[in-house]
Amino acid sequence: MRPLRSGLLLRTPMRIGYLRVSTEEQCIDRQVDALSPICDELCIERLSAAAKHRPIYADVISRLNHGDTLVILDLDRAFRSAKDALTELDMLTERGVVIKIVSMQIDTATPHGKLLYTFISGLAEFERQLLSQRTKQGLAAARKRGKRLGRRPKMTDQQVRDAKRRLAQSNMSLADIAKIYSVHPWTLTRSLRRLFPE
């Protein structure tokens, strides 16, 4: 901030980078490397974009002032949908805040940048819908061919049958039998229900 003649302080516009990864395991380096040289501050969030509440994002948005820039690497790092992206653009534009998407060199400070932002938002939404549709079709095709989907069971069918026999023929508890197969008692209970539904 620099002083004015009246003694008041003139605030220097800030460029705040918002970075997001969906899990703790995902690498944030690509976003950090791209945004560090052009931002005054980086704010990192480790949450899915679909999360109902993103505290870091909410804090960044609340702190942005007139003249500031919200900097993101890709559109989907900050916004859930085209509607979300356009709503945020309108809201931030009214506050005098600019959005910069580094990977596409889009800057909403210009009419050209706003047009590209609107177009790219719609295109990203279209791609997400296509991907979702293809995924559902792929899963349906796999089921049709009898392929098992999802995580592999922790206990084989034979182990579950053996565990049921042990329960019936011995005084061992469910917890004791679960230890034999190195699983949690709740896992054994679910496995029994899966193979022997009541």
Q: Determine contact, residues 68/13, Cβ cutoff 8 Å.
A: yes
Task: Report the alpha-carbon distance of residue 151 to residue 126 in Å, rounded.
Answer: 29
DSSP assigned state of 13? P
* Sequence-ordered strand ranges (E) for 73-145: 98-101, 106-107
**pLDDT by residue for the chain (198 residues), tens digit each?**
555 445 555 779 999 999 999 877 688 999 999 999 999 999 999 988 778 889 999 999 999 999 999 999 998 888 878 888 899 999 999 999 999 999 989 999 999 989 989 888 888 778 778 887 888 888 788 777 777 666 777 888 899 899 999 888 888 888 888 899 888 888 888 888 888 876
Task: Report the alpha-carbon distance of residue 21 to residue 45 in Å, rounded.
Answer: 7
72, β-bridge pairs: 101
Which one is catalytic: 6, 22, 62, 132?
22
150 token code pair: 């999802």
Question: pLDDT at position 150, please?
Answer: 65
134's enclosing H/E stretch is: helix 111-144
Query: Is domain 2-126 given the CATH code 3.40.190.10 in the classification?
Result: no
Which residue shows structure tokens 């922790």?
A: 154
142, β-bridge pairs: none
Task: Report the alpha-carbon distance of residue 96 to residue 109 in Å, rounded.
Answer: 9
Q: Determine contact, residues 127/135, Cβ cutoff 8 Å.
A: no
Q: Is 22 a catalytic residue?
A: yes
Domain-wise residue ranges, the chain: 2-126, 157-195
Which residues touch 72 (CB under 8 Å, ≥6 apart)?
17, 18, 19, 35, 78, 99, 100, 101, 102
Q: Determine contact, residues 44/20, Cβ cutoff 8 Å.
A: yes
Task: Report the alpha-carbon distance of residue 44 to residue 57 in Å, rounded.
Answer: 9
